[in-house]
Amino acid sequence: MKKLIVGNFKMNTTVKEFAVYLDKFLPKVKDSKSDVVLCLPYTHLMLASQKLVSTEVNFGSQNISIDTSGAHTGEVSANMVKDLGATYTIIGHSEIRKRFKETNEQVNQKIINALGVNLKVILCIGETKTEKNANKTAAVLKKQIDIALKGLYENELKNIIIAYEPCWAIGTGNVASSKDIENAVKTIRKVIEEDFSEKAAEKMLVLYGGSTKLENFNSILKVKGVNGLLVGGACLDADVFAKMV
Ligand code: 13P
């Protein structure tokens, strides 16, 4: 099965710099064996829609609004993202959960909005260092999944991808161990089985994210149950990311 390699640009690059990036990146991934998604700042989506239309590279946003339209200054709706040809959005990234105190219930509403316009969702979950040290990882992941996917029908899960991103591994250089990743992925599938079915759990795509780089990505992809990667910092270098792809 093809691996899914997602790049999260976060708040990096201007549109001009992104254009230069694509000129370098696209020829290198033309015959890639993986599925590729670039999750971009909203400002980059229009250029992505023009440059990626005839390529195999998909793109998406890093968030969407909890609302669908109206007087919400500074917000961007799922429909606006979809309208530009995006096919994915990240929801529930820990940087957003933390800074904006985003709750699991808000994550659930955003997922409903995204699915409503046919955007695929990359749902980010993961525990903090304190929670890990208190042996609460499984409980935290369960709660995040239970609430985020509340009210969804099983057939909607084909548009959900779960990214396990332990907070303590993001941008720190401290990549999770293979054992930690394997355990987390097992927990994720167990929760999906409890909430939906065994079949749903088997089919669910699960990614790992957190300090992935050239030196470690191959061994992470070999961890049982891992279907791909959600790459932050390392995706900003077109050469490095193309190699990972
Ligand atoms: P880094 O790869 O920079 O640790 O970021 C991971 C991440 O948060 C991707 O969403």
Cα of 229 vs centre of ligand 1, distance in Å, is 10
What are the tokens at 109? 């509403």
Q: Give me the domains of the chain, ranges plus CATH numbers.
A: 4-244 (3.20.20.70)
| Dist. CA 135 → ligand 1 center (Å) | 23
Residues 121, 65, 74, 102, CA torsion sign: negative
Ligand 1: which residue has its CA nearest to atom 1? 232
Average pLDDT over residues 180-185: 98
Q: Is 156 a catalytic residue?
A: no
- 2-31 confidence digits (pLDDT tens): 999 999 999 999 999 999 999 999 999 998
> Percent of the chain at pLDDT above 90?
99
Percent of the chain with pLDDT over 70: 100
Q: Is 170 in the pocket of ligand 1 (CB under 6 A)?
A: yes
Ligand 1 centroid to Cα of residue 29, in Å, is 21
pLDDT band at 1 (very low <50, low <70, confident <90, very high): confident
| Active-site residue flag, 72 | no
Residue 228's beta-bridge partner residues? 4, 207
- Nearest 10 degrees: Cα torsion 213, 157, 144, 126: -10
Q: Looking at ligand 1, which residue's alpha carbon is closest to its atom 2?
A: 232
Model confidence pLDDT, tens digit, residues 193-231: 999 999 999 999 999 999 999 999 999 999 999 999 999
